[in-house]
Copies of this chain bind each other. A is one copy, B any other.
Amino acid sequence: MVPEKDGFEGVEWRIRVADGSSEVPVTDTSLARKVWLRTKDLFSCLGLKVWMFLKKAWDIGANDPRKVIHCFKVGLALTLVSLFYFMRPLYDGVGGNAMWALMTVVLVFEPNVGATLYKCLNRIFATFFAGFLAFGVHWIASRSGDRFEPYIVGASVFLFASMATFFRFIPSVKSLFDYGAMVFILTFSFVAVSGYRVDKLFDFAHQRISTIIIGTSLCILVIILVCPIWCGQELHGLTVRNMDKLADSLSGCVTHYFTNINGEDDKRLQAYKCVLSSKASEDSMANFARWEPSHGRFNFRHPWKQYLKIGASMRSCAYCIEALNSCINKENKAAESIKKHLSASCLEVSSSSSSAIRELSESLKKMKLPTVHMFIGEMNRAVEELKNDLKSLSQLLDPSTTGENKEYETPFLEATGSVLFMEIIPVVTLASILIEIAVRTEALVGSVEDLAKLANFATIDDKFKKCDMKDKIVPDEEKPDGTLEALQRV
């Protein structure tokens, strides 16, 4: 007899078979069913994942159809180059010209005009320069005899590759010639090494450069002619959008706090976070926009760098809105009477400064000189009012009651009640952050005005201009001059 062993399950199964054969098909079906169910689960899970992925991909395409267009543009450029080489009698197999043109298209084609031009020009000039240098090195090497040739070539590759790599670390070089340095290393080492046994170096160089020029011209044609995306325009649009978001968040937060209306959707209140995170894309866009020719309303030497300054000013506002939000998002326990007391002036400051920002974005959009002085004047008046309201706050305080936990009813409008000092603090903090935001809004206005001057934005006619100038001369006491400092001078 076979002894029953716990560890040996195969035996147990055989014993069961002996007990009743009816169990066998059941076991079999259940096993098959299990496998079937497992497989079905696996496939449905996989199908779901693929479906989710496709849905996400579809959403990306639907949200920004220009991405889809870019994909077709890449396909178009590559197909054109391929067909060009299919049709040409010059075609000479693998490693011939077709490869360089294809490679140029793949490596150089970027979603926007600026980046593509940057890469094209870098590629052409770096190839020229590296080619000439490599030819010189090859000439010297070939005169020095067979024995020294590999050493000279090897040393020169080491030296120039190291140097070019180092240049890529220097910020001013990197921003203009990063890709060029890479192409330089590639071309130099390639020509220097291949030159070793190829005599027709000039022919080869000529072919390589002509194919690169064909590739880059095709890229430039496709990128500019088929639904072009201009980096400068994008940067301009991003700045305008970010300004709108800043204004939305600012007015939204303060309104939400004082009126307790939840109508503002959370997405709009959090919009300022886009401003906080857009530094990297602004930097790269400003860098590429320099390479773009005059397009739309932008000249070749449009002051793109100034957009970075505007971006920095916007971020400094956004930091304050972040601090404001942290005041607001706490469970709201400030005394209602105090909130009521300050609400009018706080709302006025936030709405006038957000109007100023919206006006800035509007004028930037239309590329007109900003006429925000009215709003700035309003904002400064509101700031003064807020300061006065803050001053009068202390009358609400009853020193005898502070420190104790007291129940109270304060019909503030009659100004008879008194509130705890601690209940003032959140609103006071909010108010002083708001005043800081007003100061930073003025800085933002300054940076946009600088841009308007640098870029010669369309001026309004003289009559309007004079009105504007008068508006500019705001009486001294209306200027907000540094949040806390100004608050204390009263």
Contact = CB atoms under 8 A, between A and B. Distances in A.
Number of copies: 2
A294 interface: no
A76 B157 CA distance: 9
Nearest to A208: B94
A279 B391 CA distance: 41
A161 B75 contact: yes
A202 to B, nearest CB: 13
B98 A157 contact: no
Interface in A224-266: none
Among A74, A75, A79, A194, max chain B CB count under 10 A is at A75
Interface string A375-403: 00000000000010011111101010011
A403 B126 CA distance: 70
Contacts of A83: 150, 154
Interface stretch (A14-22, A37-45, A65-73, A446-454): A65-73
Nearest to A185: B106
Interface in A149-174: 150, 153-155, 157-159, 161-163, 165-167, 169-170, 172
Contacts of A485: 330-331, 333
Given A162-B71, A391-B421, A484-B425, A86 B323 contact: no
Given A78-B157, A82-B153, A280-B280, 12 more contacts: A53-B170, A71-B169, A74-B162, A75-B157, A75-B162, A79-B157, A85-B193, A98-B193, A98-B194, A387-B422, A390-B422, A426-B432
9 A-B pairs with least C-beta separation: A95-B95, A394-B421, A75-B162, A426-B484, A75-B158, A333-B488, A323-B323, A71-B162, A71-B165
